[in-house]
Copies of this chain bind each other. A is one copy, B any other.
Amino acid sequence: MTPPSYTDSGWQRAAADAPFLVAARGDEPSRRPAWIMRQAGRYLPEYRELRSTMSFLELCNTPDAACEVTLQPLRRYDLDAAILFTDLLVPVVPMGFGLEYNPGPVLQRTVETEADVDALKIPDPETDLAPMLATARKVRAALPADKAVLGFVGAPFTMACYLIEGSGSKYWSKTRRMMHGEPERFERLLARIGDCLAPLARALVNNGCDGIQVFDSWASVLDQESYERFAAPASERLLEATKESGAVAINYVNGAYQHVGAMQRSCADVLAVDWRHDLGGFRDRVGTERALQGNLDPTALFCRSDDLAQRVRRICSGAGRSGHIFNLGHGVLPQTDPDSLHVALEAARTET
């Protein structure tokens, strides 16, 4: 696929019968749609080549390069959606936090006090995150109408984890300590993060995204009560903003198993879960009307081909023919053999 030349005003949305959009409505598409979390990334040699010429943040903030990286997996695989190449934490820079990748994210300061919460700046996406919006327009213009373009934002709980701890953590104990010890402050922080990201979700839609995935990467550390009190309502606001803008809202929760009840009450069009949840069991719980997305274990791409194909078919058959978007349950790993994705996609498409 050679992308057509790009003109900044020359994009149009995906068609209503694009397989991704049909499945997102819960209907039966012409074929089972598929995309892969972190499909643009280090497992692809063509990505590594481009990445070797600039830093990760430069790549995110250079629309031509970010667009090229976004399109790379769609040239190699027969996917139904492109997801913008960027990072959950890119918006923290205009929120007032210096950011480096080393290789994981490191914030130059963290949120502790009330004053820190109040000091969070609310970015204006059109100016402060202009490169991300330009990338969205470029990608949308480059793709035919049967492909969807997806943007994403971090769920407020997951963003709070990074803002409080400053870098990655296994259990996010400092975050949970604030949540339990200063629950009002924590709620205000989540609300403030929502103030920062809801305009971005809307702007991404207005600049070409057909859907927005809200990534709650760290809800896995929460008990049900805390998820329902703190994390779910904060995510809901971003999902609502997406829907009000006319795009598909995808609620991705990593560690979803204990939060399925709360997810069912979400307004999201699509419920997306990590690899640990049996998707057939999830389908039994949510019924046939809600779209589901997922959920192959990324490390299952290291299985022998016949085992891999069997696992994919089991997921697809459990999810059903209508309202299922095939994906991994978490991002593809850098060590993945790119050919294994052909095996997985072929199996997803041939399962009826």
Q: Are A180 and B258 in contact (CB under 8 A)?
A: no
Q: Which of A276-330 contact B (CB under 8 A)?
A: 276-278, 297-300, 302-304, 307, 330
Among B171, B226, B304, the residue within 8 A (CB) of A330 is: B171
Stretch of A35-43, A208-216, A217-225 at the chain-chain interface:
A217-225
Tell me the complex Cα distance, A319–B80, Å.
48
Tell me the complex Cα distance, A276–B255, Å.
10
Tell me the complex Cα distance, A19–B130, Å.
64
In the complex, A4 has a CB within 8 A of chain B = no
Q: Are A276 and B304 in contact (CB under 8 A)?
A: no
- Given A170-B170, A171-B330, A181-B303, do A224 and B278 touch, yes or no (CB 8 Å)? yes
Closest B residue by C-beta to A260: B257
**Most-contacted residue by chain B among A179, A257, A304 (CB, 10 A):** A257
Q: How many residues of A contact B (CB 8 A)?
A: 34
Tell me the complex Cα distance, A168–B170, Å.
9
In the complex, per-residue mask of A18-33: 1 if CB is within 8 Å of any chain B CB, else 0: 0000000000000000
Q: Are A299 and B335 in contact (CB under 8 A)?
A: no
**Most-contacted residue by chain B among A168, A276, A303 (CB, 10 A):** A276
**Most-contacted residue by chain B among A177, A222, A335 (CB, 10 A):** A177
Closest B residue by C-beta to A301: B180
A310 to chain B, nearest CB (A): 11
- Given A171-B330, A223-B275, do A299 and B179 touch, yes or no (CB 8 Å)? yes
Among B168, B179, B302, the residue within 8 A (CB) of A177 is: B302
A262 to chain B, nearest CB (A): 13
A283 to chain B, nearest CB (A): 15
Q: Are A180 and B302 in contact (CB under 8 A)?
A: yes
A299 neighbours in B (Cβ, 8 Å): 173, 176-177, 179-180
In the complex, A145 has a CB within 8 A of chain B = no
**Most-contacted residue by chain B among A180, A221, A275, A304 (CB, 10 A):** A180
| Residues in A lying within 8 Å of B, measured CB to CB | 168, 170-171, 173, 176-177, 179-181, 220-226, 255, 257-258, 275-278, 297-300, 302-304, 307, 330, 333, 335
When A and B form their complex, which 9 residue pairs have the shortest distance between CB atoms, in order from nearest? Answer: A176-B299, A181-B302, A177-B302, A257-B258, A180-B303, A223-B276, A180-B302, A177-B299, A257-B257
24 CB-based A-B contacts, threshold 8 Å: A170-B170, A173-B333, A173-B335, A176-B302, A177-B302, A177-B333, A177-B335, A180-B299, A180-B300, A180-B302, A181-B302, A181-B304, A220-B276, A223-B275, A223-B277, A223-B278, A223-B297, A224-B278, A225-B278, A226-B297, A255-B276, A257-B257, A257-B258, A258-B277
